[in-house]
């Protein structure tokens, strides 16, 4: 089912502007994730799509037809919330079947669809149990099953995994991906967890303060961030940033400098400009190579994680995290030289924070 939001705004009666000029097209069968920090407007946007919040201005279209005034029922959407919202006195079977029972669907049809949904979700052996006898992950699957059984074209999920522990979240992520693959439903998923966004999405919408910062595939957001916010939000550990001024083809910060001339043909054109220099922790190399910027620092702390080590360094007053092979773990309180290859360097405008 094709969805389009055209210049959508949400302004509350107290004047708070929660969502600004939201424009997005979602293709049929696509899995789109809204991601951003708390209060960025992602859940509000999802609720406008669901019909639980009024749209202050702009247009919301489903299959090319205006849906602003349609009730949630008429929009053919199913929503899974952060809380499982299961009926504690009902069995798993009855919880999944509840929506169909309200619609007066024939019992034989309900039984067939509940069994089919339970099989997809791995709940066949739990249909006669009450919610309190299930784990958090199983309860969330029941909540998803209740949405799935309605056979609607659009699934909306609002932080469905935030109540689960780390291990359950990993398991449920793969299950949600598999469910989407089997059903092919258009899915919009809200989370503040960038790992969930990167692993689940066909495309990601990064939001901040009610504005879209960038829309793209996980690859595009990771390797081609549009601004400092996106670059720092996507990736773990986050991208390192150094603020400085370009002088004689070098970025000066404190007593340190990074020579841009070997890696940027436009270094001369940036003369005198304030910039933000960025590089990802895993992008560094420890051996000198052509077209790479050299950086000297002091090792503050190391975290050995098994296959790699996080190395915390200082360069003057600037701090950075490097991710190196565990066999290359340096000693603390020792100087360290590393190199940033040209293809792994990012430059952003110091004023607008947009990519250069």
* Residue 23 pLDDT class (50, 70, 90 cuts): very high
Does one domain contain both 145 and 117?
yes
pTM for the full model?
Answer: 0.88
Q: How many angstroms separate the Cα of 83 from the Cα of each of 23, 69, 73, 248, 347?
A: 28, 27, 20, 57, 41
Q: Which pLDDT belongs to residue 30?
A: 96
C-alpha 157/C-alpha 153 separation (Å) is 13
Which range (79-88, 213-222, 273-282, 287-296) has the least confidence? Answer: 79-88
Does one domain contain both 214 and 316?
no
Q: How many angstroms separate the Cα of 255 from the Cα of each of 12, 251, 295, 299, 315?
A: 49, 11, 12, 17, 9
**Which of 233, 260, 283 is at the close of a domain?**
233
Enclosing domain of residue 327: 240-349
In CATH, what number is assigned to the domain containing residue 251? 2.40.50.140
Domain total in the chain: 2
Sheet with 77-80, strands from edge to edge, namely 77-80, 154-158, 186-191, 31-35, 203-208, 211-216
In a domain, 148, yes or no: yes
Residues 341-353: tens digit of each pLDDT: 988 999 999 999 9
Quote the DSSP letter at residue 296. Answer: E
In CATH, what number is assigned to the domain containing residue 135? 3.40.50.300
pLDDT-above-70 percentage for the chain: 99
Mean model confidence pLDDT for the chain: 90
Residues 241-294: tens digit of each pLDDT: 988 899 988 888 777 778 888 778 888 888 999 999 999 999 999 998 888 888
Does one domain contain both 226 and 259?
no
Does one domain contain both 199 and 309?
no
User: What is the Cα 108 distance to its own chain's centre?
Assistant: 40
C-alpha 222/C-alpha 303 separation (Å) is 23
1 pLDDT more than 60:
no
**Which of 204, 233, 262 is at the close of a domain?**
233
Does one domain contain both 74 and 152?
yes
In a domain, 356, yes or no: no
Does one domain contain both 86 and 195?
yes
In a domain, 354, yes or no: no
| Both structure tokens of 190 | 């809200």
């Amino acid at each position: 089912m094709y969805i389009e939001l055209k210049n959508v705004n949400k302004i509350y009666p107290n004047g708070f502007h929660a969502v600004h000029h939201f424009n997005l097209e979602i293709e049929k069968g696509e899995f789109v994730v809204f991601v951003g920090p708390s209060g960025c407007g992602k859940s509000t946007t999802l609720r406008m799509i669901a019909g639980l919040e009024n749209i202050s201005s702009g247009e919301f279209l489903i299959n090319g037809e205006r849906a602003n005034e349609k009730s949630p029922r008429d929009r053919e959407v199913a929503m899974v919330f952060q809380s499982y919202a299961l009926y504690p006195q009902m069995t798993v079977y009855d919880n999944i079947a509840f929506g169909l029972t309200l619609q007066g669907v024939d019992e034989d049809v309900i039984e067939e669809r509940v069994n089919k949904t339970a099989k997809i979700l791995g709940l066949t052996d739990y249909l006669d149990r009450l919610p309190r006898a299930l784990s958090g992950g199983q309860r969330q699957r029941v909540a998803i099953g209740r949405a799935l059984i309605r056979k609607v074209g659009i699934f909306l999920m609002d932080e469905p995994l935030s109540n689960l522990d780390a291990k359950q979240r990993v398991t449920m992520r793969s299950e949600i991906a598999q469910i989407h693959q089997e059903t092919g439903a258009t899915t919009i998923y809200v989370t503040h967890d960038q790992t969930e966004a990167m692993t689940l999405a066909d495309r990601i919408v990064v939001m901040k303060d009610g504005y879209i910062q960038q829309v793209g595939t996980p690859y595009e957001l990771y390797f081609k961030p549009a601004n400092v916010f996106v670059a720092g939000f996507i990736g773990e550990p986050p991208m390192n940033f150094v603020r400085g001024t370009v002088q004689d083809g070098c970025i000066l910060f404190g007593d340190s400098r990074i020579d841009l001339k070997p890696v940027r043909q436009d270094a001369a054109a940036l003369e005198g400009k304030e910039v933000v220099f960025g590089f990802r922790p895993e992008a560094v190399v420890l051996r000198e190579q052509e077209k790479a910027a050299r950086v000297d620092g002091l090792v503050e702390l190391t975290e050995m994680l098994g296959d790699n080590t996080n190395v915390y360094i200082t360069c003057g007053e600037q701090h950075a995290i490097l991710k190196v092979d565990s066999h290359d773990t340096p000693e603390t309180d020792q100087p360290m030289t590393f190199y940033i290859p040209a293809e792994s360097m990012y430059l952003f405008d110091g004023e607008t924070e947009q990519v250069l």
